[in-house]
Amino acid sequence: MAFPSAVRSAHVALNGFDVSYTDGDHHILRQLVDISDPTIVGNAVTYNVSLLLRDGSGTIDDRYQGTVDTLIIADTVN
């Protein structure tokens, strides 16, 4: 995400997520959303998001899809 001026500090917040299996119904064992600490370079803020949906079969091999909605809160130079 690019801002109009240099970024002094930034934080990333989870605003919401939507995840589902693509191959039918499964019992859910674990859902995970992880957001890395932001990296600031000039006026740009970057970060990584990991999303996991796992059932109780013992392996993570079922297809799934999802979206993660994030919010960046940044302190910028005037």
Which residues make Cβ contacts (< 8 Å) with residue 25, sequence separation at least 6? none
| Predicted pLDDT at 3 | 97
Residue 1 domain flag: no
Predicted TM-score (pTM) of this structure: 0.83
| Predicted pLDDT at 7 | 98
Of the CA atoms within 13 Å of residue 9, those in its CB half-sphere come to: 1
Q: Which amino acid is at 59?
A: T
* Domain span at 39: 7-76
Which residues make Cβ contacts (< 8 Å) with residue 9, sequence separation at least 6? 40, 74, 75
Residue 2 domain flag: no
| Predicted pLDDT at 50 | 96
Residue 13 domain flag: yes
- Number of independent structural domains in the chain: 1
Which positions of the chain have pLDDT values less than 50? Answer: none
Q: Which amino acid is at 68?
A: V
Residue 12 domain flag: yes
| Predicted pLDDT at 24 | 79
Residue 21 domain flag: yes
Residue 67 domain flag: yes
